[in-house]
Amino acid sequence: MKEKIAALLNEQVTKEFYSAYLYLAITNWFDENGLTGFAGWYKKQAEEEQEHAMKIVEYLHDNGQAVVLGALDAPRPELQSAKDAVSAALDHERYITASIETIYAAALEENDYRTQVFLQWFISEQGEEEKNAEEMLSKVTRYGEHPMGLYNLDKEAGSR
């Protein structure tokens, strides 16, 4: 594996762990504001992000590469409402999609076919995550202003 690809994958490990950390911040905000269904949704999301990070860790090891963990920034999303929290999640997913696409573009440039195949799972997953986040934002925008609407959305999120 080329050094450049290994470096980008290493950075992605940190970004995936940061995603988990950000989702934990969002989980905490929902919990602290009595929206335990949403909190449960984002807690699961945080767990999934750790799995994503570990997938990349394993891939690096399977290809004889060292894993260098980076420092995690403290997530400080400015959250005043459920809509802010859901928007922060969507923005972050878009950022991660762009990051995965950057690695994919580098793998194309370096003729790293194995990494291209490896990243396909992440490309599909990001499509799914963006879709879910967009749907969540659309529902919270439409119904979340009304207490009963928000209550029902929280119940729905909690059934994940």
Closer residue to ligand OFO (CB): 65 or 132: 132
Residue 150's H or E segment, with its range, is helix 147-158
Please count the residues of the chain: 160
Residue 99's Cβ-count burial label (10 Å; 0-12, 13-18, 19+) is middle
Cα 127 versus chain centre, distance: 11
Whichever of 28 and 97 has its CB closer to ligand OFO, that residue is 97
Counting contacts by CB under 6 A, is residue 125 touching ligand OFO? yes
**In angstroms, what is the minimal distance from the CB of 29 to ligand OFO?**
18
What tokens were used for 74? 């403290």
Q: Is 101 in the site for ligand OFO (CB under 6 A)?
A: no
Does residue 49 interact with ligand OFO by CB under 6 A?
A: yes
9 binds ligand OFO (CB under 6 A): no
Min separation Cβ 147 and ligand OFO, Å = 30
Tokens at 3, concatenated: 């050094």
56 touching ligand OFO, by CB under 6 A: no
Q: How many CA atoms lie within 13 A of 134 on its CB side?
A: 7
Binding site for ligand OFO (CB under 6 A): 16, 19, 49, 52, 93, 96, 125, 129
